[in-house]
Amino acid sequence: MDDEIKENIGSWEVPAVFPEPLWRGHYPGDLTALQEKTLEFLNNSEKLNTALEGGRGASSSSEHEMPHMWRESADFYAWLAKPMEEIWTEWGFPKMPPRRISKSWANFHPPGAWTKEHTHNRTDQVAVLYLQAPMDCGHLQIMNPLFYHWENSPRGPRCSWVDVPIETGDVVIFPGWMLHRSGVNKSELDRMTINTNIVAHEFPIDFGEAHR
C-alpha cells in the first residue's frame, strides 16, 4: 500500500454507532486458591458432562454446586461486578429489571481437548475467566455475527471464525447469542475456565451474596 492510499485511509474514522459485543479484560488478583479449589472440585465431581467438549474435555455445567458460591471466588466476583455493569450499560441494556447470576461452572481441557461451537441460550451476558491458560492451549474463537451478510462478498479471514488471544487471568465478556468455541489445546498442560451466565431478573444481582 503506497503512502497516498495510507494517508487517505488515515483520514477516515469508524463511528461507534453500534455497541461492541466482545470485551476482554484481565483480573489482577491472585488466582492460586481458586485454581486449587476448581481442580479439587472437578476431580471429585460425579456429574461432569462432555456434551460440548471434545478430546476428553469436561464441564461441571450439570453440577448443582457452582463456582460463584465458593469462598475462593469471592474476590474475583467482587472485582467482576463493576465491569459487567458498565458493559451492560454500553450495550444499551436497560437497568430494569436488575441482573442476577443464573449459572456458573468450570470447564477443563487437557492436551488435545476443546469446546465445540455453541451459544448460551436465554442468557444476556456471559463472562469467562481463563483460570489456567498455558501457551498454545487454544484461543477463544468467535464467529463473526455478520458472517451471513459477508457470505456473498469477497471475504477475508475475519469474516468467519476469528481468534481472540487469551492468557491466564484474562476475562472475556460477550452476549449469550454470540456463537463461540475454543481452539484445540495444543500445549502439554491443562486449560481451565470459570464461566458465568448473567440474566435480567426481577431480583437484583448481588455478586457477594453467596459468600456471606
pLDDT of residue 148: 83
DSSP string, 6-52: HHHHHT------S----EEEE--S--HHHHHHHHHHHHH-S--B-TT
Residues 21-35: pLDDT tens digits? 999 999 999 999 999
pLDDT score of 206 more than 70? no
Q: What share of the chain is helix, strand, coil (3-state, %, to 5)?
A: 25, 25, 50
Q: Which three cell numbers stand for residue 152?
A: 456473498
- Is the pLDDT at 211 greater than 70? The verdict is no
pTM, to two decimals: 0.89
Reading the block at residue 127, the C-alpha cell is 463472562
Which pLDDT score, from 0 to 100, does residue 6 have? 59
Q: Using one digit for the tens of pLDDT, what is the confidence trace for 99-151?
A: 899 999 999 999 999 999 999 999 999 999 999 999 999 999 999 998 888 87
Amino acid at 197: N
Q: What is the pLDDT of residue 137?
A: 98
Which CATH number is 21-202 given?
A: 2.60.120.620
Q: Which residue has the cell 456471606?
A: 212
